[in-house]
Amino acid sequence: MGTVGNQENEKVAIVTGAGIGIGRGVAKVLAQKGYRLALTYHSSEEDIRVVEEDITHTYGKAPLIIQSDLTVRGEAEDVVKQTMKEMGRIDLLVNNAGIGNHALLTEMEEDNIDMAINLDYRAPMLLSKYTAREMIDHKNPGNIIFITSSRGERAYPKDSVYGGMKAALIRSAQSLALEWAPYGIRVNCVAPGATVNRLNQNAEDEPLGSKIPLGRIGTPSDIGEAIAWLSSDAASYITGINLRIDGGLILPGMPEDTSPEAGYGWGKWVEE
């Protein structure tokens, strides 16, 4: 746990979309690892205040809370500026905020397409741009993480925009890893599979879990722990990868029909 006297030496992480789901879980894991946090949210102040209270109470470090609509021009830069002003450094950026889109392209409104492209691709690219500038200017090697998806690697119907943007992030991260390697900045992607999002969900009870080789769907802490490790010195020789955290969900032949009549559930291996 940090104290006022050593705050300037503590690592700082920005987590976007931290009010619910994966973002909330990532924030809690990073707080436990000793990071000071800047957390963004868009619409639900109630959710982010619960996260703020939990982290402050448990770890004694009140996070910086930033309300932001990252689809609006200038907002990404402002998030980085606010974090630098209040905390003086950025060591880790977790580009988590995003919006799902499950629809046929022929039936999607142009405004919905624009929203998905702006939030799922443009915003994380701009956040990364301004964060990398600060890291370079302050000679502070750090880590930039894009939350992608197993859908960035595997095609599904009604997923051309969301899946396409996640695939684009994976490819862009590879180029950014090359561009920023000389400054000691590592750029990687973490790709969740099916993951619980609401507090009333149990990862072991969700129907899709029986269709996943490891027997359950993912939890936000699964993603948080992966990010904490990938951003640590233990992973200092890793850059430009897409680390899939999906319990084997999209391995070849993976059945994804959750209906009981579909069968094909995974059994447990038992040593005789």
Q: Which residues are catalytic?
A: 162
Backbone region of residue 150 per phi and psi (left: phi > 0; alpha: psi in -120 to 50; beta: other values): alpha
Which residues does 11 contact at the CB level (< 8 Å), separation at least 6? Answer: 34, 35, 36, 89, 91, 92
- Distance separating alpha carbons of residues 158 and 172, to the nearest angstrom: 23
- Distance separating alpha carbons of residues 198 and 120, to the nearest angstrom: 20
* Dihedral pair phi/psi, residue 74, rounded to 5°: 95, -20
- In which element (H, E) is residue 245 found? strand 242-245
SS (H, E, C) 109-151: CHHHHHHHHHHHHHHHHHHHHHHHHHHHHCCCCCEEEEECCHH
> Which tokens in the block code for residue 108?
């999607």
Q: What angle do CA 113, 119, 122 make, to 5 degrees?
A: 95
CA distances from 150 to 38, 102, 114, 193, 221 (A): 27, 15, 22, 5, 17
Residues in the chain: 272
- What one-letter code names the amino acid at 135? M
Q: Is 171 helix (H, G, I), strand (E, B) or coil?
A: helix
